[in-house]
Structure 1
C-alpha cells in the first residue's frame, strides 16, 4: 500500500498545486478586475497602486497563475508564501492572536500551502517538469564534446 501511495505522490502534489494556484489566482482576479464577486465580495476593485492591497492582488494573480501552470513554481510559491505571511501578521494578527479569531485562516493556509510547494516543487502536470524533460533530452542528444589532448 505504501509503495502505491509513494508512486502517486507526484500526481497528488501536482493536483494540490493546481487547486491552490487556481484559488489564489481567483483572489487576485477578483480584487483587480471585480470578477467573481470582486474585492470584499461586493464587485469592487482595489485602487491601482494602493499599498498593500493592489500589490497583494498582483502577487495573487501572477503567483497563483504561475503555480497553477507549474512554471517557476518554487520561486512563485516563495513570493506568494511571503505575501501571505505579511498579510497575516500585518492585517489579521493585530486584531487577535488566533486565525479563528482574526479572520486570518485563509492567509495562514495559503502561506503554509505555498511554503510546502517551495520544498516539493511542481509535482506532476507542471510546465517545470515538461521543460526539465526537454532540456534533459536535448542534453542527452548533444554530441559529446570532450577536449582532445596530445
Structure 2
C-alpha cells in the first residue's frame, strides 16, 4: 500500500530541479568573484603568475558547474582546490577559520563536494549529454 505524499512534499519535489539550478548559478556568480579578484580584474592589480593558471582552472570549472556540464568532475576539482587552499594557505595563519580568512574556502569546499554527490540535476547539459 502506497503512503500518501503530503502536498508540501509534492510541491518541494517539483521545485527541486529549479532550486538546484538556481543553487549552481548563484554559487557560480559568488565564486567567480574570487578568481576575478586574484586576476586583478576587480581592482586593477597585477596578478601573481601562479594565480593566473589557478584562476583559469577555477573559472573554467565553475562555469562548467553553472551549465551542468561535466559537473561532478568540475565540482570535484574545485572542492579539492578549496580544500588545498584552506589547509595549505589559510591554516598557515592559524586554525581559526575567521581569523585566517579560510571560512569561504572551507565553505566552497563543502558546497562543491555536495555537487559531486548530488550531481547537476535534471536541468543541466549533463542530463542531455548522458541521455538520462
So what's the TM-score if we normalise by structure 1? Answer: 0.74
CA distance in 2, matches of 1:45, 1:65: 23
- Offset of residue 24 of structure 1: 2.2
Deviations, residues 75-106 of structure 1 (Å, cap 9, x unaligned): 00000000000000111112121211211111
Moved more, 101-110 or 80-89: 101-110
Show structure 1 runs of 4+ deviating over 4 A: none
1:126 aligns with 2:124: yes
- Residue 3 of structure 1: aligned partner: 10
- Gapped regions of structure 2 (runs ≥ 5): 1-7
Q: 1:64 to 1:45 in 2, by over 3 A?
A: farther
**How many residues get paired?**
125
Secondary structure (helix, strand or coil) at the match of 1:44 reads coil
Q: CA deviation at 1:71?
A: 0.8
Q: Answer yes or no: is 1:14 the counterpart of 2:21.
A: yes
Q: Please give the alpha-carbon distance, in whole angstroms, between the structure 2 residues aligned to 1:45 and 1:78.
A: 29
2:35 alignment partner in structure 1:
28
User: Matches of 1:102 and 1:44 in 2, distance apart?
Assistant: 22
